[in-house]
Amino acid sequence: MSKTFSAAGLLIAAMLAIGTADFMLTEIKLPPSDTVLDGVQADTGTNQNQAGQAGVIKSSGPDVRAVLTASKFNFSEADEESLISLVIRDGTKVESLALSKDSDRAGFMAWAQSPRVKVYFMALKEALHTSFTPLVRELIDETQRTPGKPVINLLSFMDEGISSERLVFIRVRERLFEFHVPEGKDDMMFELIEKLTE
């Protein structure tokens, strides 16, 4: 398996880790769950319980490995570096998998689950925006709100100075995902992303 990050990208990744340190150290406490954090919108969806009372339903989302299996992906523990592992330095577990399908590399994914994922995403987003090279393109930085679905914060871009593959970061519920998407695998991987963020 080829290394995803270029040499310049590894240097930028190291700078990203250093650049987020100040933010993470000065972030004292997590804001209330309905706070908009510099463009990172919290989930505010409600649901009715059997008594008819509205309440926020917390959910960790689908089982990642079960979704991969149902979608006919093969996966194995990955030795690739993830950028979220450079941001998350408080002991929160970051899992990562190398993905393949039909005997071909399909991509890479990493994820972490924590009540602090909105903070991690904000730190990651701010650090990346200052680390982009002049080669950055196809940048998407948005909050997606779909009725009946959780709020999603999405950051996606191509930057050959950082990686030879498209990088996608998603914050949904209490999970933060990172995907490395090889050329020609966008449709396959975004279909997987949709299932993981339902």
> Are residues 139 and 125 in contact, defined by beta-carbon separation less than 8 angstroms?
no
Closest CA to 72 of 98, 103, 101: 101
* Phi, psi for 188 (deg, rounded to 5): -60, -45
Delimit the domains of the chain by residue range. 7-196
Rounded to two decimals, the pTM is 0.79
- Quote the Cα angle for 191-192-197, to 5°: 100
Per-residue confidence of the chain (198 residues) as pLDDT tens digits? 345 565 555 556 666 666 555 555 555 444 444 444 445 554 544 443 434 444 444 567 899 999 999 999 999 998 888 899 888 888 899 999 999 999 899 999 999 999 999 989 988 888 888 888 899 999 999 999 999 889 999 999 999 988 899 999 999 999 999 999 999 999 999 999 999 998
Give the other-Cβ count within 10 Å of 75's Cβ.
18
Residue 136 CB partners (closer than 8 Å, separation 6+): 157, 158, 159, 161
